[in-house]
Amino acid sequence: MKLATWNVNSLGVRLPQVLDWLAANPVDVLALQELKLTDDKFPADAFETIGYHAQWFGQKTYNGVALLTRAPASDVIKNIPGFDDDMSRVITGTVEGVRVIGAYFPNGQEPGSDKFEYKMEWLTALRRWVKEELSVHPKLVLMGDYNITFDEDDVWDPVNLEGTIHCTEEERYHLRALIALGLHDSYRLFAYPPKSYSWWDYRDAGFRRNRGMRIDHILVSETLRPSVIACTIDKTPRKNERPSDHAPVIVDISLSA
């Protein structure tokens, strides 16, 4: 089973790119973030035409998430149960026995802000819920735009960006706490080249100069870890005209292993 995550930064703008990418990379599950459109505007027919079932949770202007799956998803949940939130950030479903959580983590704006406090509360609620999900679904994948780096290897300029948003100790604590539940960063299960990023700022030729961060992650449960064959970042779509500022991340899992 191949699963991928991609923050498309407006599906209305990037739909042709997503369809082209799926044609070249027919993954079994694709989690999308930042749809930036309401539910009634979601292009379900376009995905159905190419063989994908769709579950989505939209929001006007901001946020919005979706799961595109070859096999139908069951037991679909939107957002974090028990956490009062008016943002469309999480969509979850079971696909061929694997519990898949696609999430768009809050950005947080800057340390000390109200949005940063919201991010801390959201991360705490997510961790509690994922712990519950793991107890019921040992085969679990948590993927999406985390808006958090693990460490300096995930940052193009770790010295000057230390303590800034995506790179604070508070954010990284929560990321480590997710790992402590029994999850594993699938990308780092393998040797990876230095300066491997999944996001680059549109400004200052960030992509061309490889001034980026790795903030899009795929965490897999302990049960799935031995079955992970590969995890890669596909930078090709970042070279498109009018691209998203994020690149897809793909994990390959052998469910028969």
Domain boundaries, the chain: 2-253
Tens of each residue's pLDDT in the chain, 257 residues: 999 999 999 999 999 999 999 999 999 999 999 999 999 999 999 999 999 999 999 999 999 999 999 999 999 999 999 999 999 999 999 999 999 999 999 999 999 999 999 999 999 999 999 999 999 999 999 999 999 999 999 999 999 999 999 999 999 999 999 999 999 999 999 999 999 999 999 999 999 999 999 999 999 999 999 999 999 999 999 999 999 999 999 999 999 74
Q: Look up residue 66 and give its two tokens.
A: 């979706």
DSSP-derived pairing of the beta strands 65-69 and 29-33: antiparallel
Domain 2-253 superfamily per CATH: Endonuclease/exonuclease/phosphatase (3.60.10.10)
How many CA atoms within 13 Å lie on the side-chain side of 48?
Answer: 6
Prediction pTM value = 0.97
Q: Look up residue 109 and give its two tokens.
A: 């704006």
pLDDT at 256: 75
Give yes or no for a contact between 161 and 169, defined as CB atoms under 8 angstroms apart.
no
Determine the 3-state secondary structure of 79 from DSSP: coil
Rg (CA), the chain: 17
Backbone φ and ψ for 32, nearest 5 degrees, come out as -110, 145
Which residue in 154, 163, 164, 168 sits closest to 123, CA to CA?
168
Determine the 3-state secondary structure of 105 from DSSP: coil
pLDDT at 68: 98
